[in-house]
A and B are shown apart, each in its own frame.
Chain A
């Protein structure tokens, strides 16, 4: 297994929101996507993905609909709501501020504060 890193509290929500910003996706897809994009560093799963998805849904940031997957099976697709989009923006801004600040404290210049 590739080395994994424990996600910071609350970071998973941000990752999920960011992933869903590209379009509706089912839970497995979200996990795969995060793994791929992070080049296998961030492994979601471990029983934390679905609680997080449901939590976000209860907060009204994402919504779910049953649909058919690419291999034509019934799957639950999550998509970002308008509130969720706004939330994503504000969380991204917070993240930038925070990582820049941490970078300063640690004496590193943040490489890509996208």
Chain B
């Protein structure tokens, strides 16, 4: 067998000259002729008999060639050459098909490269399907967390996991002190963390167990980015002592280049998470330190089983650790790591993928339609080839070769387009889409594209390929191919239906997006800036020093021209992190408030008096905070209108007491749950001049100004630098950060809108093609009708009626599908019902009008035909 293959291979490489066979056959005939002559025939008769005996020289030669190994390769090459010649002869067809395919395949590839990591590709950890995030959740913290006070009990008594590892919450900032100082993000994790994820450092080693114990030797791991960017990939980094926040630590390893924390946070430097289980029982009021926990399921254990098995431990913790009044609010959560990482991007990813596949489907339908038109033009040619001996298989292969060639060229063009589209996506995309920075056209994506193009090729190649070349076509005058007309009509109906679905989805998102942009936020965003000042903790080591710095900075900036107000708050509406309180933490006039359901929260903010004027929040009753309150021993609060109505329904809130503080004013409501969530009731505490008012989250400076960001930023920076030149400041316009909140819906809307328009355009072109084809086919009939007295109006109605039937059918099917599909969008819609009748009506109308225009053009052309010409038309 092996020897045989070798023999074949040898002949494949060293092909025999064709004349060989000719010589051989000639010799054979001559021999036979001689024998016949010897038998007494005439010269002519002898040769004739010899030829008859051999049975067709040409056939014998042909069949002998076909024995050659790799003979079929030659025919493929022949098919390809033939196809390319055909494309050359018909460049308009070729370019149209390739462009259509490039758009379909390119868009699909670009979208796939983005959603692949969210939906399909495995996470970059060993046993990624068994990794979970585990912990408690409650209404103020929806991401699983764990406390040191009970983590060790869980770890020691759990059944379902073969490993559990912890990292600190964070990351937090620290300072690298050396000739080239830098502010770094740090995180802690324990010694089992990297092994559980199946990650080992590219250089050096992981933490040893004894290094992850309290008072262990001071060691750190650094990120690849830090090693590359700051240390220029110095291999001598190992065991070097570096100064972080004033203490020396030894670098023991460098994390891999593509390592990503399961929390997807950027981290430069990692300390060992050195916790003592006994200390944790007493630290932080008995709760211990907060942390994030990840675990690896034992093989064969499902998430449900894990939940079941962890439930008793959780219940014990809940009943012993958690204060009684919030017990009902705390739950156990175990999710797969993929769920945690991709969270709410999933729906969006599926919707994008679905819509881009819809566009691809429309594109394929168009190409199939074009191929069929071309097939009709070549009916005679195919019939001739068939008559000359081409088998049906060979003809189908020819058509499939053409389709495969077209789709591969389309795929190549599509890849180029995808590269460009991907750049646009990354530019447009909001920060919240996981892994987007890693999206790229790698081998996996390229194979997907090639596979996709081949599937497309088969899809639009097979339909026309299966048309039998009929012998009738040789003699045919105007053959009617009923079945193909039905098929093309069905394609047009399908295209209209699919683009209806796309358009409805896009229109719903567009309306939702407009609602979001036009809503009243309750604050002024133009001319308002936030400045985040990262005070290095080791130099500003007391609250008093920090407060002093902040107040000095505010006073300096207040003196600048064009500044309306300078305030501090722990957060700024409408989105991002905001502090929250439980209703159970609220007291009214000294008594606990009991009027709210479990799980709902209110927003609290600790602000300096200028906050309301900086953001232009109106005070609707009472007064705002004043400078004097900052020194006063009498604590005061301001409540939002929503909160006042909630806890003092129908009463005057001024002078009442909330959490032991006197209400002095009622502020207008502001949007404080992001752009989409409904407003939460809000309470404003005063940030005064005592040290404890400045503890907790680092305050953000809010600057109200009448100048532009360009003018303000350098002044603010220089004022802060005048106090301390080493402090980094980050200045951002509030309108920019609000606009950033809308990035995600903007991204979804623009993408879906783009796909819907692509789809509509292609569907309309498809419809145009079908109608003009039908009109051409009926030219003779039109001639007869006109000769019998039909007016141009009658003809127009006849042809356009055909189009209208297709449009109505496609529209109705599409509307039904769109109503179903809209439900998937429901979670992404803001103030628009998924079945919003107005949106659907407008979309149906627009689609109907555009499609009607596409049918009227060929229909009108049909009426212009001269009856005499039409009658003679074949």
The interface of chain A, by Cβ under 8 A from chain B, is 26-28, 31, 45-51, 54-55, 57-60, 69, 71, 73-76, 83
Q: Which residue of A lies closest to B56 (CB)?
A: A47
| Inter-chain contact A45/B4, CB cutoff 8 Å | no
| Inter-chain contact B68/A54, CB cutoff 8 Å | yes
| Inter-chain contact A51/B31, CB cutoff 8 Å | no
Tell me whether B416 is interfacial, beta carbon within 8 Å.
no
Tell me whether B63 is interfacial, beta carbon within 8 Å.
yes
| Inter-chain contact B8/A58, CB cutoff 8 Å | yes
Contact residues in B for A55 (Cβ distance below 8 Å): 67
Tell me whether B121 is interfacial, beta carbon within 8 Å.
no
Task: Rank and list the top 5 A-B pairs by shortest CB-CB distance, nearest first.
Answer: A60-B7, A47-B60, A46-B55, A28-B31, A51-B63
**Within the complex, what minimum Cβ distance (angstroms) separates B492 from chain A?**
49
Count of B interface residues, CB-CB < 8 Å = 30
**Within the complex, what minimum Cβ distance (angstroms) separates B69 from chain A?**
6
| Inter-chain contact B66/A51, CB cutoff 8 Å | yes
Q: Which residue of B lies closest to A55 (CB)?
A: B67
| Inter-chain contact A50/B21, CB cutoff 8 Å | yes
Distance between Cα atoms of A26 and B25 in the complex (Å): 11
**Within the complex, what minimum Cβ distance (angstroms) separates B312 from chain A?**
73
Q: Which residue of B lies closest to A54 (CB)?
A: B67
User: Given A28-B28, A45-B55, A71-B34 in contact, is the A58-B7 Cβ separation under 8 Å?
Assistant: yes
Instruction: Jot down 12 A-B pairs with beta carbons below 8 A, ordered by A.
Output: A28-B28, A46-B54, A49-B60, A50-B28, A55-B67, A58-B67, A58-B69, A59-B7, A60-B4, A69-B31, A74-B23, A76-B24
Contact residues in B for A26 (Cβ distance below 8 Å): 27
Tell me whether B32 is interfacial, beta carbon within 8 Å.
yes
Distance between Cα atoms of A69 and B23 in the complex (Å): 13
Contact residues in A for B629 (Cβ distance below 8 Å): none
Contact partner, B27, options A28, A45, A46, A58, Cβ 8 Å: A28
| Inter-chain contact A45/B7, CB cutoff 8 Å | no
Contact residues in A for B27 (Cβ distance below 8 Å): 26-28, 69, 73-76
| Inter-chain contact B31/A54, CB cutoff 8 Å | no
Distance between Cα atoms of A45 and B60 in the complex (Å): 9
User: Given A27-B28, A47-B54, A59-B7 in contact, is the A54-B64 Cβ separation under 8 Å?
Assistant: yes
Tell me whether B11 is interfacial, beta carbon within 8 Å.
yes
A interface footprint on B316-331 (CB within 8 Å = 1, 0 otherwise): 0000000000000000
Give 18 A-B pairs besides A28-B31, A45-B54 with Cβ atoms closer than 8 angstroms.
Answer: A27-B24, A28-B32, A45-B53, A49-B60, A50-B63, A51-B64, A51-B66, A54-B67, A55-B67, A58-B8, A58-B11, A58-B67, A60-B3, A60-B4, A69-B31, A73-B27, A76-B24, A83-B3
Q: Which residue of B lies closest to A71 (CB)?
A: B34
| Inter-chain contact A50/B31, CB cutoff 8 Å | no
**Within the complex, what minimum Cβ distance (angstroms) separates A68 from chain B?**
11
Contact partner, B67, options A28, A45, A51, A69, Cβ 8 Å: A51
Q: Which residue of A lies closest to B20 (CB)?
A: A76
Q: Which residue of B lies closest to A31 (CB)?
A: B28
Tell me whether B30 is interfacial, beta carbon within 8 Å.
yes
Distance between Cα atoms of A31 and B35 in the complex (Å): 13
**Within the complex, what minimum Cβ distance (angstroms) separates A69 from chain B?**
7
Distance between Cα atoms of A46 and B28 in the complex (Å): 12
| Inter-chain contact A50/B55, CB cutoff 8 Å | no
Distance between Cα atoms of A65 and B94 in the complex (Å): 49
Contact residues in A for B67 (Cβ distance below 8 Å): 51, 54-55, 58
Tell me whether B59 is interfacial, beta carbon within 8 Å.
yes
| Inter-chain contact B7/A47, CB cutoff 8 Å | no
**Within the complex, what minimum Cβ distance (angstroms) separates A65 from chain B?**
12
Among A31, A58, A74, the one with the most B-chain Cβ atoms within 10 Å of its Cβ is A58
Within 8 A of A (CB), among B1-52: 3-4, 6-8, 11, 20-21, 23-25, 27-28, 30-32, 34
Contact residues in B for A27 (Cβ distance below 8 Å): 24, 27-28
| Inter-chain contact A47/B59, CB cutoff 8 Å | yes
Contact residues in B for A60 (Cβ distance below 8 Å): 3-4, 6-8
Among B55, B66, B69, the one with the most A-chain Cβ atoms within 10 Å of its Cβ is B55
**Within the complex, what minimum Cβ distance (angstroms) separates B12 from chain A?**
9
Distance between Cα atoms of A49 and B27 in the complex (Å): 14
**Within the complex, what minimum Cβ distance (angstroms) separates B5 from chain A?**
9
Contact partner, B8, options A59, A71, A75, Cβ 8 Å: A59
Q: Which residue of A lies closest to B66 (CB)?
A: A51
Among A28, A45, A55, A75, the one with the most B-chain Cβ atoms within 10 Å of its Cβ is A28
Distance between Cα atoms of A83 and B4 in the complex (Å): 9
| Inter-chain contact A50/B60, CB cutoff 8 Å | yes
Within 8 A of A (CB), among B136-155: none
Distance between Cα atoms of A48 and B56 in the complex (Å): 10
Distance between Cα atoms of A46 and B55 in the complex (Å): 4
**Within the complex, what minimum Cβ distance (angstroms) separates B7 from chain A?**
3
Distance between Cα atoms of A105 and B27 in the complex (Å): 44
Contact partner, B24, options A50, A59, A83, Cβ 8 Å: A50
**Within the complex, what minimum Cβ distance (angstroms) separates B6 from chain A?**
8
Contact residues in A for B4 (Cβ distance below 8 Å): 59-60, 83
